[in-house]
Amino acid sequence: MDTFDATTEPTTLAVRRAYGASLKLATAKGSDRSRMVLAMAAAIAGAIDDILEANTLDLEASREMAVPDYVIDWLKLTPQRLEETVNILQRLGELSDPLRRVRAAEYQLDDSQTYAQQMPLGVIAFVFEAFPELSAIASGMCIKTGNSIILKGGSEASNSNAVIANVLQNAIAEVGFPDGSIELLNSEYGASMRELVIQDQHINLVIPYGRTSLVQQIVKLASVPVLKSALGNCYLYWSPNGSLDMVRWMLIDSHESEPDPVNAIEKVLIHRQTVPSSLQTLWNSLTEKGFTIVGDRELAKTFPQIQVANDNDWGTAYLNKTIAFKLVNNLDDAIAWINRYSSGHADCIVTDSYQESRQFALGVNSASTYINASPRFSRSPSRGDTIFLGMSNQKGHRRGLISLESLTTMKHIVQGNGRF
């Protein structure tokens, strides 16, 4: 058993508690883990007023510190956002157990039977900024999959995160689950992000959630495997064969998942054959919906009413209702541009050509591509049997939607017949 003294750092204490809890969660019954998640849902539902009160303190402090408006939007909790969090936790609790699923192995040894089984990862660190309700959702996903979780939120949401974590910890204690299943690290107690992401002896995965700068910082610092998340800077290519109405709908709908702008289309590549009047019609529609339109230098010269996009805008997420437009010569140029500048997690094409759609889907180096379909992100989609935490643009570990399966691993088991 680990022994702690007064000099043990807060991060080390939290990591060791989480590791001990992960060993117990890994062997817990699926029905018990579901009961635990449902208890978390009920606890959040009963503490909405307390959470909103703490969130008000965070909002007041953030406005005084001149935190960007879009981060304040991410931070601001409402009864509706908390009710949706409760609904997600309830749905998690009702889903079938994602563990213990047995699959046939890809190989068989002589005189034995080999199979694969879904297992927990162990300890997961969730490092995030704003979005305080995500601490509850991520915790629910981890408990459901038999993992313990360490929460490291930003200082802008310190009060909200503390209340939510306390509510969740009390809920799991009441149903008899171990201390350390959910740990919260606050910066005011001397717990730094760097200290957390180098704890590779006990932490099995780090998931960063927030602006690109946060994700990149963790990737550089971590000695623990990282599952990168991505927000915004998704591209759309508008083919001459594509519908104006389809483009308009996809652009507007992709931004409807706020305050999580996960798959918001922020850049549009347009073919030179596009009729100028169609562009003007589209821009007028978007402006009426509150969007800001910018364009490359060639477009700004032709349409003086739009601002010129900065050169570094093409590879950077706006994370607000700004959309940049750029002229390209053909589909090949569009694919090359997207592969260079897109965030790489969700990119789109509008075309009536099957050949173009196939060329785009196979040529774009992104986790997911959307053909005449909105990339709008939903954490709890109406179809399917899982919950999504976000989107990943990496090729290692997991790619695309971050689901319950993303928090598990496969174990191969070889069962001999007693012969030797």
Predicted local confidence at residue 3, as pLDDT: 42
Tell me: do 347 and 253 sit in the same domain. Answer: yes
CA 250 to chain centre: 20
pLDDT in tens, 61-78: 999 998 999 999 999 999
Tell me: do 85 and 209 sit in the same domain. Answer: yes
| Structural domain includes residue 4 | no
Sign of CA dihedral 52, 191, 398, 96: negative
| Structural domain includes residue 1 | no
**3-state DSSP helix/strand/coil percent for the chain, to nearest 5?**
45, 20, 35
Asked whether 267 and 284 are in contact (CB, 8 A), the reply is no
Number of H helices, E strands in the chain: 14, 16
Tell me: do 142 and 254 sit in the same domain. Answer: no
Domain with 303 in it: what CATH number? 3.40.309.10
Rounded to whole angstroms, the Cα distance separating 161 from 158 reads 5
Tell me: do 323 and 251 sit in the same domain. Answer: yes
Predicted local confidence at residue 258, as pLDDT: 80
Tell me: do 38 and 111 sit in the same domain. Answer: yes
Tell me: do 30 and 80 sit in the same domain. Answer: yes
| Residues whose CB is less than 8 angstroms from the CB of residue 33 and which lie 6 or more positions away in sequence, other chains included | 25, 97, 143, 144, 146
| Structural domain includes residue 3 | no
Q: Pick out the chain residues at pLDDT < 70.
A: 1-8, 187-191, 419-420
Predicted local confidence at residue 420, as pLDDT: 57
3-state secondary structure of 165: helix
Predicted local confidence at residue 161, as pLDDT: 97
**CA Rg value for the chain:** 23
Tell me: do 268 and 306 sit in the same domain. Answer: yes
Tell me: do 138 and 190 sit in the same domain. Answer: yes
Residue numbers of the domain that contains 244: 234-371
Q: Helix 276-288 crosses helix 244-254 at what angle (to 10 degrees)?
A: 30
Q: Into how many domains does the chain fold?
A: 2
Tell me: do 57 and 151 sit in the same domain. Answer: yes
Q: Supply angle C-alpha 137, 139, 142, rounded to 5.
A: 110
Q: Which helix (H) or strand (E) holds 251?
A: helix 244-254
Tell me: do 219 and 121 sit in the same domain. Answer: yes
